Amino acid sequence: EDKSAEEEEVSGGVFRRLWSDPPTLDPHLTTDTTSSGVVVEVFSGLVTMNTDLQLVPDIAESWDIDDTGTVYTFNLRKNAKFHDGKPITAHDVKWSLERAVHPDTASPVADTYLNDIIGVEKALEGETTEIEGVRVIDDHTIEFTIDAPKAYFLAKLTYPTAFVLDRENVEAGGRNWTENPNGTGPFKLAEYRIGERIILERNENFYRQPAHVDSISMNLAGGEAMAMYENDEIDITGVGLFDLDRVLDPNEDLNKELIIAPPDFSVSYVGFNTSMPPFDDPKFRQALNHAVDKELIATEVLSELVEPAYGILPPGFPGYNENLGGLEFDPEFARQLLAESKYADPDTRPRIEVTVPGTGGTIGLDLDVIIEMWRQELGVEVEIQQVEWATYLEDLNQQRFQAYGGLGWQADYPDPQDFLDILFHTESSINHGAYSNADLDAILEEARTEADLEKRVSLYHQAEKMIVDDAAWLPLWYAGERYVLIKPHVENYRVTPMIIPKLKEIRITDG
């Protein structure tokens, strides 16, 4: 990621892609991949991940960890600057973290990603504006103290909640400060027209190797991605179900532009709010799991673009358990579980509503088929409600849904804690289904500080099995291999299994 001393020449050009309106551009409020795909290019933090998913220095050029494993001292780059050329100091880092955890910021994720730092809980509750465990030593040195040694702490700091903001910019801009953000990342926000486009321009003041391209153009107006790619309006597109055969044909010109990338680290699922009837009964949730024939859907409906998921952690991810059983398709057992549940009688069973993101039109072929399977195998009727993506995220964070689909969880950093603990611990602020299991919590808490890697993985295997057996979710799919078309004039674009800053590496050639 860091280049040698011989500075390379900028290559220029514009990289064009299709994107959607981000629900937010405020790093401290970012909870979704649509937002973070833009945020990680405009802002940055002390550390980041490179395209090989290794943790590398960013605003901090180095750090030390004391013998207890709880005190981290970061040394900031002397040349680190905001977009306007103003130097970044340790005071900016401290202020940014305090803003992220301030009750007025109302971040849905600050607790999740920053709560290892001593004093964060008090700040979130409004008892103090400063964080006890964050100490400025001098302009270029800052110290964090965490509550126990945790192998994944640095990785959590790559998430946008820990990004550094310019206090003057945020305070002067008020609620609309993100319209003109003075960021720190490799690109500046040059233009944002809702529903039309986002233009990012290269930051010439970037404290590391600046981007090669002049700008990134993100088309937000929607449209048929494949047609836009073939009309040369965008430089990259994923290949969907309907175009796959054509693109895989070696005689087709497009085939030369095809990249087959490894799956991303994600799992899609239907979530149940386990505090709301009928999902407060594990037998009812288990019945719904056993009534779905995922193999059939993967083969017949989704052309094997996905892999059926019976667990939570995706293949290839640290802690993945290939021996995890999971709740397989077994309609007879499903009917037995339903009969034993307290919602066996359809006349007294609460109405069931599954909320999905989107506006009108299709809800996803897989969900259509799943609902039909529930109806046929169990006689369970389900209604669908659709809401727009930004509202959906807000309601999800408030645990307002009885059940919810049409989404997945993509890794933020390569550690099992990022799935099992963040999504299922009772106290986690992004446990959207209000799932609560004291035995599970105890295992997750032990795994946080377990120093022996084998023991730690075995704890996560136990935790995952409990979650799956208790049917906290209906896990659906792990991503399959990804089929991506990239124009020949684009070099160095890496298809990565999670969101990381990577657009500065791209080159546009005249090819």
From 161-165, 298-302, 378-382, the region with the lowest mean pLDDT: 298-302
Q: Among all chains, which residue has been given the structure tokens 């690109």?
A: 187
CB 271 within 8 Å of CB 404 = yes
pLDDT of residue 10: 53
d(CA 236, CA 156): 29
CA atoms in the 13 A half-sphere facing the CB of 107: 31
CB 319 within 8 Å of CB 313 = yes
Bridge partner list, 283 = none
Helix H, strand E, coil C: the string for 152-180 is CHHHHCCCHHHCCCCHHHHHHHHHHHHHC
CA distances from 62 to 277, 314, 368 (A): 51, 32, 51
When pLDDT is cut at 50, 70 and 90, the band that residue 364 belongs to is confident
As given in the structure block, the two tokens for residue 122 are 């008090």
Q: What are phi and psi of 353, to 5 degrees?
A: -125, 125
Residue 354 identity? V
Q: Which residues contact 337 (CB under 8 A, 6 or more apart)?
A: 283, 284, 286, 287, 290
For range 483-500, the mean pLDDT: 93
Please give the domain boundaries of the chain with CATH numbers for all domains: 266-479 (3.10.105.10)
CB 156 within 8 Å of CB 53 = no
As given in the structure block, the two tokens for residue 157 are 């700091």
Q: Which residues contact 463 (CB under 8 A, 6 or more apart)?
A: 420, 424, 440, 443, 444, 447
When pLDDT is cut at 50, 70 and 90, the band that residue 2 belongs to is very low
Say yes or no to pLDDT of 362 above 70.
no
For range 365-388, the mean pLDDT: 94
Alpha-helical (H) ranges within 260-342 are 282-290, 294-296, 331-340
CB 42 within 8 Å of CB 203 = no
Closest CA to 41 of 153, 192, 167: 192
d(CA 247, CA 364): 22
Question: What is the sign, positive or negative, of the torsion defined by CA atoms of 162, 164, 165, 168?
Answer: positive
- Spell 486-509 as b/e; 16+ CB within 10 A means b: bbeebeebebbbbbbbbbbbbbbe
Q: What is the DSSP letter of 347?
A: T
CB 139 within 8 Å of CB 190 = no
Higher-pLDDT residue of 300, 328: 328
CA atoms in the 13 A half-sphere facing the CB of 430: 21
CB 447 within 8 Å of CB 460 = yes
d(CA 132, CA 123): 9
| Chain mean position to CA 509 | 31
Higher-pLDDT residue of 365, 178: 178
Average pLDDT, the chain: 94
Say yes or no to pLDDT of 124 above 60.
yes
Strands 383-387 and 353-357, sheet pairing: parallel
Say yes or no to pLDDT of 9 above 80.
no
Q: Among all chains, which residue has been given the structure tokens 């991949």?
A: 33
Per-residue model confidence as pLDDT tens digits over 186-203: 999 999 999 999 999 999
d(CA 31, CA 283): 31
Residue 296 identity? L
When pLDDT is cut at 50, 70 and 90, the band that residue 262 belongs to is confident
d(CA 432, CA 481): 28
d(CA 464, CA 319): 10
> Whole-structure pTM over 0.75, yes or no?
yes
Question: What is the sign, positive or negative, of the torsion defined by CA atoms of 228, 230, 232, 236?
Answer: positive
Cis bond upstream, residue 278 (ω within 30): yes
Say yes or no to pLDDT of 361 above 80.
no
Q: Which residues contact 236 (CB under 8 A, 6 or more apart)?
A: 17, 229, 484, 485, 486, 487, 490, 493
For range 301-319, the mean pLDDT: 91
pLDDT of residue 51: 87
Say yes or no to pLDDT of 366 above 90.
no
CB 511 within 8 Å of CB 256 = no
Q: Among all chains, which residue has been given the structure tokens 């179900």?
A: 241
CB 355 within 8 Å of CB 404 = yes
CA angle 50, 51, 53 (to 5 degrees): 65
d(CA 196, CA 383): 33
pLDDT of residue 448: 96
